[in-house]
Structure 1
Amino acid sequence: MRIMPFLFLGAAGLQGCTSPGLEQQLQEASAAYEQVSQDARVVHDAPKDVMRAGDSLERAKRFAGYLGNAEDAEHYAYLSRRYSEIARNHSALQRNQMRATQLAMEQERLRQTLQEARVLDAHQQDRWLDEQMISMAAAESDRGLVMTLGDVLFKPASAELGNSANRTLLKLAHFLQLNPGRRIRIEGYTDNRGDAAENLQLSRARAQAVADFLVDLGIEASRMEVLGYGEQHRISENASARGRAQNRRVEILFSDDKGRLSPPR
């Protein structure tokens, strides 16, 4: 659906009908409609509400202009703002419902995997856990066992996890559920592009997003530490796009089976 933005009426079009209060209401209604009509997600999720907001705004401007009725203009300006608000809320609710459904599906997969794992004998279970660690691409380092999550799991320049992160983090949740004695430290890193303080904040936010996702899958927050290092501790040079991509990462450091983690950097 294509939503056409409405133009503000000029002073000549209002022909002296508006008061400062009405002008402000029209501007607020126009700004609210502009915001929702330009948001593709809101237009997709709540097209009827966006259309009603636009229709009400058009009527408000007509009453404020050549029809010369300030009371009706205020009424329709109010309706337009409310429809814009309803459209935003409707879209947010739909996104939350989709995420809840997605998490429920992931939790069901986790439950089934755990149920299957419990029927394995001790030898099979040890082998299964080894295979899980290999599938997670965890590697030994001087700090212990480390799993690296690449920048591709996040939306560009954002701490929001993309859909590709689900499978990787589900494997991590599986391992932690089957190893209740282990703890993890989640560390965020960036390249050196942009402001250093903002990079530090982004690295911490990305690490926290991973922790929050694991909590949603049933992992206790007390088993996780979250740190952001920003531009520090690069693993490649920042002169090339490939090197910067390698530096933009989240690392998962595993404790031993007694829950002991190596000291932070």
Structure 2
Amino acid sequence: MKWFLWVAPALLLCSGCTGSLGRQELADAQLLFDQVKSDPQVLESAPRDVSRAGESLARAEGFAAHWGTDADVEHYAYLSQRYSQIAREHDQLVRNQQQSQRLQREQDRLQQMLREARLLSAQQRSEWLDEQLQRLATMETERGLVMIIGDVLFEPGSSELNLSASRTALQLVQFLQLNPRRLVRIEGYTDSRGEAEENRELSRLRAQSVAQTLVDMGVAAERLQVIGYGEAHPVAENASARGRAANRRVEIVFSDENGQLGAER
């Protein structure tokens, strides 16, 4: 009886006494789980992994609240985090596969259009190419034909092209395949916020991202030039949000039919 009276207070004192490392692991696991369970696409892509993450988290919380060691809490909190990460990775894999399938369908359509274009007469082909240039939204400048790709095709503050850029890239590929002697210079620009050198590097990376996408779709790398101008050569005032958005852009400069590009700025 005396032994029981001595042990019981010790149990009460130690109940839920999880160390700082265990509490941090538990908090991290809870944060990751909240993120994946609130994302409908992750729930649809990886329901089993999300469920396992929740079960492991519940066990970790149970050990933290009752008679459990730090090792128990950390173990199940780690499992919960890993299942949450796997769920995200699985979701990203599904998204990549879906994007690949969409690109394949676009490429198949492009190949069909190219086959049809080869059957056109010279006059029809000229008219058809003019139509393609209009679809690319080009404009005539002192540097030649220029197409502007706006900031909306990039993730905010990033050089990564988003999914909506694939159609624009495919149109570019289509035009370049039908005009094998034309070259392009891909020029990146930013607004004036931030350091000038950082802006110049971001503009170059965005231009390079466009170039790499074209190469991945079959355009020879030697037909592409890349340059980053940063905040130089704005097309609008940087004082307003609208003006800054206009200045964040990539310009595609086309050579003439003989492959002659205009001078750089």
Question: Residue 250 of structure 2: SS of its match in structure 1?
Answer: strand
Q: Structure 1 residues 144-153 or 108-117, which shifts more?
A: 144-153
Offset at 1:123? 1.9
What letter matches 1:34 in structure 2?
L
Q: Gaps spanning 5+ residues in structure 1: where?
A: 1-10
The alpha carbon displacement at 1:121 in A equals: 1.7
Alignment of 1:192-231 (within 5 A): 192-231=192-231
* Aligned pairs (5 A) from 1:101-112: 101-112=101-112
Question: Partners in 1 of 2:74 and 2:242 — Cα distance?
Answer: 56
For 1:132-211, list aligned pairs within 5 A. Answer: 132-211=132-211
Q: Is the 8 A contact 2:191 2:230 kept in 1?
A: yes
Q: Which moved more, 1:35-44 or 1:148-157?
A: 35-44
**1:93 maps to what in 2?**
93
Query: Any conservation in 1 of the 2:179–2:257 contact (CA below 8 Å)?
Result: yes
Asked if the contact 2:33–2:54 (Cα under 8 Å) also holds between the matched residues in 1, the reply is no
Equivalent runs, 1:1-265 vs 2, <5 Å: 14-15=16-17, 24=21, 27-28=24-25, 30-39=27-36, 40=39, 42-43=42-43, 45-68=45-68, 72-73=72-73, 75-265=75-265
**Residue of structure 1 equivalent to 2:3:** none
Distance 1:132 1:222 in 2: 23
Question: Match for 1:61: what amino acid?
Answer: E
Whether contact under 8 Å (2:146, 2:251) holds in the other structure is yes
Contact in 1 for aligned 2:148/2:251 (Cα 8 Å): yes
Secondary structure of 2:236 counterpart: coil
Aligned partners of 1:180 and 1:32: how far apart in 2? 54
Normalising by the residue count of structure 1, what TM-score does the alignment of the two structures yield?
Answer: 0.81
Spell out, residue by residue over 1:93-129, the C-alpha distance to the aligned partner (whole angstroms, 9 max, x if none).
Answer: 1121122112111211211111110111222112211
The CA deviation string for residues 235-265 of structure 1, in whole angstroms up to 9 with x for no partner, is 2222233322221211001122232323332
Whole-Å separation in 1 of the counterparts to 2:15 and 2:95: 40
8 Å CA contact 2:186–2:227 kept in 1: the answer is yes
Partner amino acid for 1:230? G
Q: Do 1:26 and 1:60's aligned partners in 2 also have CA atoms closer than 8 Å?
A: no
- Classify the secondary structure of the residue corresponding to 1:52: helix
Change beyond 3 A, Cα 1:72–1:155:
closer
Larger radius of gyration: 2
- Tell me the distance in 2 between the aligned counterparts of 1:114 and 1:91: 34
Please tell me whether the aligned partners of residues 36 and 42 of structure 1 are also in contact (alpha carbons under 8 angstroms). Answer: no
Q: In the superposition, relative to structure 1, how do residues 236 and 79 fare at CA in structure 2: closer, same or farther (>3 Å)?
A: closer
Q: Can you give the 5+ residue segments of structure 2 that lack an aligned partner in the other structure?
A: 1-12
Q: How many residues align?
A: 250
Residue 76 of structure 1 and its aligned partner are, at CA, apart by 2.5
8 Å CA contact 1:188–1:249 kept in 2: the answer is yes
Task: Report the CA distance between 1:52 and its aligned residue.
Answer: 1.7
